Amino acid sequence: MSMYVDSSALLKRYVEEPDSVSVDALLRADDSLLTGRHTIVEVRRNLARLLSGRSLANARRSFAADLASFSIIELDATTCESASTIAETTGIRTLDALHLAAALRIADPGVGFLTFDLRQAQAARSLGLSVLVP
């Protein structure tokens, strides 16, 4: 099974938070992980905000290594146009709309969408995505 992983879920892999263990297990169990190009910016920004020193360096290294196993969905003009429409119709934030548009680009109904953002999860369901709940 393929799984689209948004930043709120992926961050739990590097920063100890509630559900970190569940996310880690889900990510290890799936051999087809997907995310949008902007996830790199979001995760690195939040790592720098939440960690420092050796913890930050280790998290950045782990994140870079993990990204090698992800398929990255590029934010091309079509994806951005779709995100604009999603943001207008659902009222969700810009980066969340980009995640949803990227996930919809996959066009595979078997792809799960992993997020811990409740508004984004509601929008994802309204768009027909299968939201995974660890």
Q: Side chain identity at 27, as an amino acid letter? A: L
Domain of residue 35, residue span: 2-132
Rounded Cα distance between 91 and 50, Å, is 27
Stated pTM of the model: 0.93
The total number of structural domains that make up the chain: 1
Sign of the CA dihedral 98, 101, 105, 106? positive
Location of structure tokens 């938070």 = 17
We report the CATH number of the domain holding residue 90 as 3.40.50.1010
Terminal CA-CA length for the chain:
15
Tens-place pLDDT, residues 52-65: 999 999 999 999 99
Q: State the pLDDT at residue 134.
A: 59
User: In which band, very low, low, confident or very high, does the pLDDT at 31 lie, cut at 50, 70 and 90?
Assistant: confident
Say how many C-beta atoms besides its own lie within 10 A of residue 123's C-beta.
24
